[in-house]
Structure 1
Protein backbone atom coordinates (compact mmCIF):
# COMPACT_ATOMS: atom_id res chain seq x y z
CA UNK A 1 0.00 0.00 0.00
CA UNK A 2 1.78 3.16 -1.09
CA UNK A 3 1.57 6.01 1.35
CA UNK A 4 0.74 9.55 0.43
CA UNK A 5 3.95 11.53 -0.02
CA UNK A 6 4.66 13.64 3.05
CA UNK A 7 5.81 17.14 1.97
CA UNK A 8 7.20 19.76 4.34
CA UNK A 9 5.94 23.36 4.41
CA UNK A 10 8.08 24.17 1.35
CA UNK A 11 6.47 21.33 -0.61
CA UNK A 12 9.62 19.17 -0.54
CA UNK A 13 9.18 15.45 -0.01
CA UNK A 14 10.21 14.33 3.50
CA UNK A 15 9.51 10.61 3.08
CA UNK A 16 7.57 8.22 0.88
CA UNK A 17 7.12 4.58 1.95
CA UNK A 18 5.24 1.50 0.83
CA UNK A 19 3.29 -0.72 3.24
CA UNK A 20 1.57 -4.05 2.75
CA UNK A 21 2.36 -7.36 1.17
CA UNK A 22 2.67 -8.98 -2.22
CA UNK A 23 -0.94 -8.60 -3.37
CA UNK A 24 -3.30 -5.69 -3.90
CA UNK A 25 -3.26 -3.26 -0.95
CA UNK A 26 -4.65 0.26 -1.08
CA UNK A 27 -4.59 3.22 1.30
CA UNK A 28 -7.69 5.43 1.23
CA UNK A 29 -7.40 7.75 4.24
CA UNK A 30 -4.59 9.21 6.35
CA UNK A 31 -5.04 10.82 9.76
CA UNK A 32 -2.25 12.55 11.67
CA UNK A 33 -1.96 11.43 15.30
CA UNK A 34 -1.29 13.64 18.33
CA UNK A 35 2.37 12.53 18.43
CA UNK A 36 3.05 13.53 14.80
CA UNK A 37 2.65 10.03 13.37
CA UNK A 38 -0.12 8.77 11.10
CA UNK A 39 -2.80 6.09 10.86
CA UNK A 40 -3.54 4.92 7.32
CA UNK A 41 -6.82 3.14 6.53
CA UNK A 42 -7.53 1.10 3.44
CA UNK A 43 -7.87 -2.50 2.40
CA UNK A 44 -5.70 -5.51 1.66
CA UNK A 45 -5.65 -8.81 -0.18
CA UNK A 46 -2.18 -9.64 1.17
CA UNK A 47 -3.21 -10.49 4.73
CA UNK A 48 -6.21 -12.16 6.34
CA UNK A 49 -8.67 -13.63 3.84
CA UNK A 50 -6.64 -13.50 0.63
CA UNK A 51 -9.63 -14.24 -1.64
CA UNK A 52 -11.47 -11.08 -0.57
CA UNK A 53 -10.42 -7.68 0.74
CA UNK A 54 -10.14 -6.92 4.46
CA UNK A 55 -9.91 -3.56 6.21
CA UNK A 56 -6.23 -2.68 6.69
CA UNK A 57 -4.93 -0.16 9.24
CA UNK A 58 -1.28 0.86 9.47
CA UNK A 59 0.17 3.04 12.25
CA UNK A 60 3.44 4.80 11.43
CA UNK A 61 5.67 7.26 13.27
CA UNK A 62 6.52 10.76 12.05
CA UNK A 63 9.23 9.34 9.75
CA UNK A 64 6.92 6.76 8.17
CA UNK A 65 8.29 3.74 10.05
CA UNK A 66 5.61 1.13 10.70
CA UNK A 67 4.65 0.75 14.37
CA UNK A 68 1.82 -1.75 13.85
CA UNK A 69 -0.69 -2.96 11.30
CA UNK A 70 -4.06 -4.67 11.71
CA UNK A 71 -6.57 -6.37 9.43
CA UNK A 72 -10.29 -6.68 10.10
CA UNK A 73 -12.75 -8.82 8.19
CA UNK A 74 -14.41 -12.18 7.86
CA UNK A 75 -14.34 -15.04 5.38
CA UNK A 76 -17.65 -14.09 3.72
CA UNK A 77 -16.88 -11.10 1.52
CA UNK A 78 -15.11 -7.81 1.02
CA UNK A 79 -14.52 -5.32 3.82
CA UNK A 80 -12.84 -2.02 3.02
CA UNK A 81 -11.72 0.96 5.05
CA UNK A 82 -12.36 4.33 3.42
CA UNK A 83 -11.86 6.73 6.31
CA UNK A 84 -10.06 6.99 9.65
CA UNK A 85 -10.59 9.61 12.36
CA UNK A 86 -8.79 10.40 15.58
CA UNK A 87 -10.53 10.35 18.94
CA UNK A 88 -10.28 12.77 21.85
CA UNK A 89 -8.29 10.23 23.90
CA UNK A 90 -5.83 9.60 21.06
Structure 2
Protein backbone atom coordinates (compact mmCIF):
# COMPACT_ATOMS: atom_id res chain seq x y z
CA UNK A 1 0.00 0.00 0.00
CA UNK A 2 1.34 3.49 -0.82
CA UNK A 3 0.41 6.82 0.72
CA UNK A 4 2.08 9.43 2.89
CA UNK A 5 2.96 10.30 6.47
CA UNK A 6 3.41 13.72 8.04
CA UNK A 7 7.02 14.49 9.04
CA UNK A 8 5.91 17.76 10.60
CA UNK A 9 2.17 18.13 11.16
CA UNK A 10 0.48 19.90 8.23
CA UNK A 11 3.86 21.13 6.90
CA UNK A 12 5.88 18.33 5.32
CA UNK A 13 4.83 14.93 4.00
CA UNK A 14 6.89 11.96 2.91
CA UNK A 15 5.82 8.99 0.84
CA UNK A 16 5.15 5.87 2.87
CA UNK A 17 4.89 2.26 1.73
CA UNK A 18 3.48 -0.61 3.76
CA UNK A 19 4.04 -4.22 2.68
CA UNK A 20 1.68 -6.95 3.89
CA UNK A 21 1.76 -10.73 3.60
CA UNK A 22 -0.98 -12.59 1.74
CA UNK A 23 -2.81 -13.08 5.07
CA UNK A 24 -2.68 -9.37 5.96
CA UNK A 25 0.27 -9.35 8.39
CA UNK A 26 2.44 -6.23 8.20
CA UNK A 27 5.87 -7.26 6.88
CA UNK A 28 7.50 -3.80 6.83
CA UNK A 29 6.82 -0.10 6.46
CA UNK A 30 9.19 2.58 5.18
CA UNK A 31 9.15 6.26 4.29
CA UNK A 32 10.77 7.83 1.23
CA UNK A 33 11.38 11.39 0.09
CA UNK A 34 13.22 14.55 1.00
CA UNK A 35 12.69 18.00 2.47
CA UNK A 36 9.51 18.86 0.54
CA UNK A 37 6.13 17.21 0.15
CA UNK A 38 6.27 13.67 -1.21
CA UNK A 39 3.34 11.32 -1.66
CA UNK A 40 2.81 7.82 -2.98
CA UNK A 41 -0.37 7.59 -5.03
CA UNK A 42 -0.15 4.12 -6.53
CA UNK A 43 1.85 0.93 -6.32
CA UNK A 44 2.27 -2.26 -8.32
CA UNK A 45 4.09 -5.52 -7.57
CA UNK A 46 6.15 -6.98 -10.41
CA UNK A 47 6.72 -10.66 -11.18
CA UNK A 48 10.10 -10.60 -9.38
CA UNK A 49 8.34 -9.33 -6.17
CA UNK A 50 9.84 -5.83 -6.52
CA UNK A 51 7.53 -2.81 -6.27
CA UNK A 52 7.04 0.30 -8.39
CA UNK A 53 5.54 3.34 -6.67
CA UNK A 54 4.14 6.40 -8.46
CA UNK A 55 3.35 9.69 -6.80
CA UNK A 56 4.29 13.35 -6.63
CA UNK A 57 7.22 15.22 -5.12
CA UNK A 58 8.42 18.75 -4.44
CA UNK A 59 11.69 17.45 -2.95
CA UNK A 60 13.22 16.21 -6.17
CA UNK A 61 13.26 17.09 -9.84
CA UNK A 62 12.39 20.61 -10.92
CA UNK A 63 11.30 21.59 -7.40
CA UNK A 64 7.66 22.09 -8.27
CA UNK A 65 5.08 19.35 -7.99
CA UNK A 66 6.63 16.73 -10.24
CA UNK A 67 5.58 13.21 -11.11
CA UNK A 68 7.79 10.83 -9.13
CA UNK A 69 8.26 7.11 -9.59
CA UNK A 70 10.64 4.80 -7.78
CA UNK A 71 11.40 1.11 -7.55
CA UNK A 72 11.77 -0.92 -4.37
CA UNK A 73 13.14 -4.36 -3.62
CA UNK A 74 10.75 -6.80 -1.96
CA UNK A 75 12.39 -5.76 1.35
CA UNK A 76 11.82 -2.02 0.79
CA UNK A 77 15.27 -0.92 -0.37
CA UNK A 78 15.02 1.87 -2.93
CA UNK A 79 16.52 0.64 -6.22
CA UNK A 80 15.94 3.60 -8.55
CA UNK A 81 13.89 6.78 -8.96
CA UNK A 82 12.84 9.18 -11.73
CA UNK A 83 11.06 12.52 -11.72
CA UNK A 84 9.19 14.17 -14.57
CA UNK A 85 8.31 17.86 -14.66
CA UNK A 86 9.16 21.24 -16.11
CA UNK A 87 11.39 23.80 -14.37
Q: Settle same-fold status: TM greater than 0.5.
A: yes
Give unmatched runs, 5+ long, in structure 1.
Answer: 76-90
Question: What count of residue pairs does the alignment treat as equivalent?
Answer: 73
Larger radius of gyration: 1
Q: Which residue of 1 aligns with 2:56?
A: 43
Q: Which residue of 2 aligns with 1:15?
A: 28
SS class of match (1:30)? strand
C-alpha separation between the residues in 2 aligned to 1:9 and 1:34? 15
Give unmatched runs, 5+ long, in structure 2.
Answer: 1-14
**Of the candidates 73, 81, 86, which is equivalent to residue 61 of structure 1?**
73
| Larger relative contact order (CA 8 Å, sep ≥ 6) | 1
Higher strand share: 2
TM-score (norm 2): 0.79
**Superposition misfits of 4+ residues, deviation over 3 angstroms:** none
C-alpha separation between the residues in 1 aligned to 2:20 and 2:71? 18
Correspondence list, 1:68-87, <5 A: 68-75=80-87
Query: Is 2:45 the partner of 1:32?
Result: yes
